[in-house]
Structure formats: structure tokens, C-alpha cells
Amino acid sequence: MIQGQPDLYVMFLYRALRSWLKPGGRTAFIIPIAVLEADYAEQLRSVIAEHKLLEIMDLEPLRKLTFRGVKRQTVILVLENSPPSDDDLVSVGIAGTECYDSTTEEIDLRMAIKSDIPRRYLRDLLWPGIQRRRRMSWLTSKIQAGDVPILDKLSAASRLRDHVDWVYRKRRGNTGTVVVRELPAGANTNDWVRRPLFYMGLKLGSKAALTSTGMSVFKGLNVFPGGLRGAPMGHWQRSSPTLDLKMYRYADFLDHDRLFASREIAQLPTISPVPADAVFNNTVILIQMRKKFPLNGWVLARPIMFAAATCLRATIIEDLGCHWYPKNLGLIPVPQDWTDSERTTLAGATARLIDADENLADQWRHVDGTLAAATTQTVSQLIAAGSPLVEGFMLPAAVSDEFIADDIEMDASGLHAGGTFRLEVPNASLRTILWYRLHERLMDGEDVSIGDIQAVKIPVDPDPIAALIVGVRGSDVAEAFEHARQHLDDVAAQMLGLTDSDLAYLQERFLTGPFLSQIRPMWAHRGLHMQGYHDHSGGDRFLD
């Protein structure tokens, strides 16, 4: 029953289910969320399937609040040693920061959002008929009762993998490697293997693979919906000593009008068109469509983000990130077919949103430049100097080492992050700049503790920069970005057969859901501070 490199919890839960439970007995485990989808837990899920599943409580939205200092995301399973049924109602809970009391450091799961979901929907919701395939017996813990009718509609769509281009590669023989676009007339199909053009980029192996001239080499952190951002890590030629060509074995068959690059690690699928002069390392999954389709925009529509976030995430890591492999990217819902008119409309909506994103990024760059040029003092220096800026301001010292687990919000009197903490900041300019500084760090995936607030740098004259930040937040550019998102959502919903009420429901889930409200695409205006995508000073970090 053990495969791959399993975590130790697999053996404990297996023993509990097989040996320790008497008939009708129950057990509850708090275990890594990987139990729901990891390959190494495939056989364990088969054992779980033999038992009645009473409850799943998803703790991922709590992030580092569940176990201090532990970055593994967790889930609670409650199982009973009784015959299961697909009609069993399973209590599915999602515990967000509203469950956390920072004063007592307690998590009250009674405040979690819960729904009773028929068991069949926890495994077959978005991929009916696929579960029989090895390594596809996933479970989902992120759905609510209202999601089921919409995901049922999305399950009627085709899948991205159904629209991926392919080539044929001849099986090993005396003729060497032969790859063709179409099978030769009269060819014996048993002699050929169809290879989808859906695979990772180069495995470079060492710096020796990089050259001073040739095609620019990029990695996943360069990938944004509107295109590549940041400097390449170097250059590459096909004659370079590369460890494994991966997708570039089929370089002669790549068509850059239909070729896309997807980050392997991201909160949500992040996909970019591929320029003709660019290649990628193996932190990117390359996807070539059989016919033209603006895939980079399609995955930005909230119906697609919703399906991906609730049902398709794999190898979940810290900060709500996960891995996007061909096996889960390939299950993204895509229309069965589309007309040229529909593709043109979708492409126009994509271009409008990307342009609005870039305009918003430009405005935030101006804020960043102004902050960088300002003379500053830290919050602790302002407190020590008795500055009027910090009058009425006090850090909650009792929880100074607590991490801020959610994005930070600003209201009329202070800052707050879900239920994790609240900080009164009477001075409006200080409040605005603190919000911006902390918000950008959290968006970059940094660990930020409440105690870190005292080290935040504040301009000596904060009023003009605070006014600039407020202006961008309420600007026509920010409004244009939201209108462009709505337009893209409308186009995608229509292509998938969703109603206006379906779409409104999904958009509300992204605003208020304990998990969905925390995850975001990698917008250009969000990635302004992502230093990793252009900093290659760290030696061989990119060579795996």
C-alpha cells in the first residue's frame, strides 16, 4: 500500500483504520492536506474509501496559525468503521481566520463554514469518469453546498487536455528517434506513440548549459498573464550540454501562435504567451493548443479560477501555493469548441484586462519610486522620538511574534487581518503607509509578524505619499481594472453556459470565502516586488 516516499502519517492512519477501529468505531486525525491528492497517499485513499467519511475540516486558510512555526497545511478527517455509500452526507468545513482568537490563541472550529455534501461530489465533482485512472482519486475539501450546481455545469465542459496539440514519436527501433506531426500513410499505429505537447521546460543541469548568445532562458517567476517580466537567467542553444530537453525534444513542432508557458508553482494557474525567442527551464509547463485560444486570459476568469482553486490543486505548499502539473492543469474546464467570433471576443477581453493591469502597475510603480526616494524613519524610531504620528498607536506586545496570516485590511481607524489581530492607528497617513508596506510584503509571500511592524520605514513627511496611495486605490485606473475583470468573467461564463446568478455567486465566494478570498492570480501590479523573477545572483538556484 506504500508507494513513492510517503509521510509517516500514512502508516499511522492506515494502522488505525485496519487494526484499531472496532465495527462502528470512529477515529479523527489532524494530518497534512496532501492526504487528499498526493500520489504517495493513493493507496491510503483506497482504504479511506472503504470507511464512512463523517467530516472533513480544511485548516489551510488558517495557514501558520494552526501550528506555530509549522508550514505544512493540514486537514482533519473523521472516519467511522461502517460501510460507506456515495449518498452519505459528509460535513465539509473550511476554517478561516474568523475562527482564530488572537487574545487566547485558540481556534474555535464551531465558527468554520460548514456544508453537508454527498460523498460522491467530494471525488467526482469536476472530473466524472476520470477517477478510475491511477493517481486521479483525489478528494476535495474546499467546496460548499452552493458550489455543487455550478461545478456540475462546469463538469459538462471539455478539458484543457482535450485541446492540446500532439506529435507522434516512433517507438524505439533501428531508425533512431523519429517524430512526425501526422502518422505516415499506412503506418502501423502500434509502432508509434502519441505525445501531447504539454510538458515541462529544459532541465539545464549546470551552468555549462547556458551560453552568451542564443535564445533567452526564463523560469516560472518570469511568467505573468501579459507576458514575461524581468531579465532572463542566460541564453541557450540547442547544441548546449543540456541534462534533459523535455518539451524541447519537439522544438521543430512548436508554433508560438499557439504556445503558452504556465508557472509550475502558483496559487492559481498563471499562464503567458511564449515569444519566439524565449525558452524556459523546468519550473514552467509548456502547453501548445491545437487551435488558437487565449489561454492566458481564460484562466484569469473567475469561473475558471473557481474550478481550479476548489478541485484541481495538487502538492499544496505554504502560503496557499501549490504545484500545477499537466495532470491537474489538463483538467481545467474549456468550452467543447469555440467560433472565431468567440475567440476574438475572449482575446479582446483578455487584452483589455492585461492593459488595465499594466496601467495599475504603472501607478503603483510611481508610488514605489516616491517611497524609495523619501527620507524615512522606522516606526520604533518614531515611537522613541515621541512623534505625533504615533500618538495613540501601540503594538499588541502579547502577540508580537504572531504571523499575520491573511492579507491586511485598512479601515477608518486602524489595520486588521481577519481575526488574527487588530491595530489601532489614529493617524491617517501613518495608517495608509503601514497598510501599503505590509500589504506588499504579504502579497510577495513573505512571513510578516506583528512585531515586524516596528521596523517598517515611514517617510518623514508622510502626507503626500499617503495621498498618492489613496489616490491610486480610488483612481479611474483601479476602477477600469475591475470593469475589465467583470467583462472577462461575463465572456467566460457565457462560453461555459453559466447564468448571471451563477457568476454573481462565484464572485461573492471570492470576496467572502475564507479560502477563496485569500488567493489571487499573479497580476503584474501584484508582482512588482517579486525580486526572485529577475535576481539571478544566487548561484545555481535555477539549475534543477
Pair 454, 417: CB distance under 8 Å: no
Can you give the pTM of this predicted structure?
Answer: 0.89
According to CATH, the superfamily of the domain at 9-145 is Vaccinia Virus protein VP39 (3.40.50.150)
Tell me the C-alpha to C-alpha distance, in Å, between residue 116 and each of 22, 36, 51, 53, 536.
26, 18, 17, 12, 49
pLDDT of residue 219: 95
Half-sphere exposure of 139 (CA within 13 A, CB side): 25
Q: What is the 3-state secondary structure (H, E, C) of 199-237?
A: EECEECCCHHHCECCCEEEECHHHEECCEECCCCCEEEC
Between the two ends of the chain, the Cα-to-Cα distance in Å is 30
pLDDT tens per residue across span 91-111: 999 999 889 887 788 899 999
- Cell numbers describing residue 216: 533567452
Contacts for 104 with CB less than 8 Å, ≥ 6 apart = none
Helix (H) or strand (E) holding 373: helix 340-373
pLDDT of residue 173: 62
Half-sphere exposure of 464 (CA within 13 A, CB side): 9
Domain boundaries, the chain: 9-145, 160-334, 375-460
pLDDT of residue 536: 40
Pair 271, 296: CB distance under 8 Å: yes
Pair 195, 180: CB distance under 8 Å: no
User: What whole-number distance in Å separates Cα of residue 511 and Cα of residue 507?
Assistant: 7
User: What whole-number distance in Å separates Cα of residue 472 and Cα of residue 479?
Assistant: 10
Pair 195, 163: CB distance under 8 Å: no
pLDDT tens per residue across span 161-190: 999 999 999 887 655 679 999 998 988 988
pLDDT string in tens for the chain (544-residue length):
556 667 888 899 999 999 999 999 999 999 999 999 888 888 899 999 999 999 999 999 988 888 877 778 999 999 999 999 999 999 999 999 889 887 788 899 999 999 999 998 887 666 554 444 444 578 899 999 999 999 989 988 999 999 999 999 988 765 567 999 999 898 898 889 999 999 999 999 888 899 999 999 999 999 999 999 999 999 999 888 889 999 999 999 999 999 999 999 999 999 999 999 999 999 999 999 999 999 999 999 999 999 999 999 989 987 789 999 999 999 999 999 999 999 999 999 999 999 999 999 999 889 989 999 999 999 999 999 999 999 998 776 555 566 676 678 899 999 887 666 788 899 999 999 999 998 888 776 677 777 788 899 999 999 999 999 999 988 899 999 999 999 999 999 999 999 999 999 999 999 999 999 989 888 988 765 443 333 343 443 333 3
SS3 assignment, position 530: coil
Of 149, 337, 416, nearest to 425 (Cα)? 416
Of 173, 70, 20, 189, nearest to 447 (Cα)? 70
Q: How many separate helices (H) and strands (E) can be counted in the chain?
A: 13, 28
DSSP β-bridge partners for residue 423? 415
DSSP character for 171? P
pLDDT of residue 343: 97
Q: Does domain 160-334 have CATH number 1.10.3470?
A: no
DSSP β-bridge partners for residue 260? 273, 287
Same fold yes or no, 9-145 and 160-334: no
Helix (H) or strand (E) holding 153: helix 147-155
